[in-house]
Chains A and B, each alone.
Chain A
């Protein structure tokens, strides 16, 4: 079946440094990818998405890179701040797009 994985369960970075969170997916036909941020005790919050006709998309301090050849996407956070501490999930709609498959999540710790 379709799956989404994350390379690291936790990531610790120094405040001000850039963070890179990686994700691999299994379905080469996937054409839409989403990153969510979940703070403790809250629901996931949409950060940024990217469609398969692009390989890079930028938001405010965040960039998502998509490499369809190796079925890999990454979330880059520039100048990481304490408020960025959270669990980050990549997510991919399943075939047909009726539901979304979530990765295991990467917990980002930001050290002051």
Chain B
């Protein structure tokens, strides 16, 4: 259980193109999804947190107009890199958490397999 599907796995496109990445929770409802960016040999850098039906919360330094996030349903969040440039090339990873209640509401995130974005 707890499978997260991320699509596409790899994108190569020209500078100025907008690219949409989808993140789906396949067997659970994800009230919260996270978008990360990872540079080679580095840890995951959180870009934004999206909650179903509300605006995403962006981390400091992440451009909202550059990285558009939509979480329109409990199983789908999308990240659109608008007018992508070579410096946007990176490995983008989404993750999802389902809603739980109780004292120990902490639980692991379930990650997609990432999208390798290359802007020429």
Residues of A within 8 A of B114 (CB): 41-43
Given contacts A43-B113, A44-B44, A104-B43, contact A99 B49 (CB under 8 A): yes
**Distance to closest chain B CB from A8 (angstroms):** 14
Does B93 make an interface contact (CB < 8 A)?
A: yes
Q: Which residues of B contact A102 (CB under 8 A)?
A: 43-44
Least CB distance from A9 to B in Å reads 9
- B70 an interface residue at 8 Å Cβ cutoff? no
Q: Which residues of B contact A103 (CB under 8 A)?
A: 43
Residues of A within 8 A of B6 (CB): 43
Chain B interface, number of residues (Cβ within 8 angstroms): 22
Q: Which of A45, A49, A89 contacts B44 (CB 8 A)?
A: A89
The docked-state distance in angstroms from the alpha carbon of A9 to that of B48 is 26
Task: Indicate if B108 sits at the interface (CB-CB under 8 A).
Answer: yes
Asked if A18 is an interface residue, CB under 8 A from chain B, the answer is: no
**Complex Cα–Cα for A89 and B108 (A):** 13
In the complex, which residues of chain B have a beta carbon less than 8 angstroms from the beta carbon of A104? 42-43
Query: Quick check: A41 and B106 within 8 Å, CB to CB?
Result: no
Beyond A103-B43, A104-B43, is A43–B106 a contact (Cβ under 8 Å)?
Answer: no
B109 at the interface (CB under 8 A from A): yes
1/0 per residue A39-61: CB within 8 Å of B? 00111111001010000000000
Interface membership of B67, Cβ < 8 A: no
The contact string, 1 if C-beta is below 8 Å from chain B, for chain A 80-112, is 000000000100010001111011110000000
Give A45's nearest chain B residue, CB to CB: B111
With A99-B46, A102-B44 already in contact, the answer to whether A43 and B111 are too (CB < 8 A) is yes
Are the CB atoms of B95 and A49 closer together than 8 Å?
no
Q: How far is the CA of A46 from the CA of B49 in the complex (A)?
A: 19
- Which residues from chain A sit less than 8 Å from chain B, CB to CB? 31-32, 34, 36, 41-46, 49, 51, 89, 93, 97-100, 102-105
Interface residues of B (CB under 8 A from A): 4, 6, 34, 42-44, 46, 49, 93, 95, 104-114, 116
